[in-house]
Amino acid sequence: MKKVSMILADGFEEMEAICTIDILRRAGVRVDIIGLNDTTITGSHDITLIADEKFDYYGVLDYDGIVFAGGMKNAMTLSENQDILNLINHYNELGKLIAGICATPAIVFSKTNILDGKNATCYPDEELISKLKNANYVDKCAVVCDNIITSQSPYTAMAFGISIASYLGLDVDALQLALKGN
């Protein structure tokens, strides 16, 4: 079974986190919710989640990938944590999956070099797009470039989750049929 960790801080965007977790779990992926500073995390719209674990750098090294939801406060907090940035760089060096949606590619990933020369997307706001300095911005719901998956917004969260499932080699056709009710 494939397994990923979704690392969240207070202020995460609930639709991006919950939709992605749900899609991946339906696809058969083990998704562990990791709270950056606590196991109780409150999203940007006051929905509180109880994480499976509190973040520990060494505790998240054994996953097939790491996934980050957006939300400006969440992204800012993640971008200020050196262990998170080191973890992203470590996963990139190993060629493991790194996925981020909304503000995360622009705010968090831009503090590393993982997007240098790669196609990527983020929330379609000029200020955020400008932070993707060394990346090639692509205005698409979800962009897969090597081991990096980026997406735009709560509206694209389902495409984000399906892109991650596809990257992990899962049967997304069956997943999409099940989601449609077929």
| Known catalytic residue at 102 | yes
Beta-carbon contacts of 9 under 8 Å, excluding residues fewer than 6 positions away, are: 35, 36, 37, 41, 73, 74, 77, 78
d(CA 82, CA 93): 16
Provide the 10 A C-beta neighbour count for residue 155: 12
Beta bridge partners of 139: none
Q: Are 99 and 144 in contact (CB under 8 A)?
A: no
Considering the candidates 102, 122, 141, 145, report the single residue annotated as catalytic. 102
Beta strands in the chain (DSSP E): 3-8, 30-35, 40-42, 48-50, 53-54, 65-68, 97-101, 119-120, 136-137, 142-145, 148-151
Q: Which residues are catalytic?
A: 102
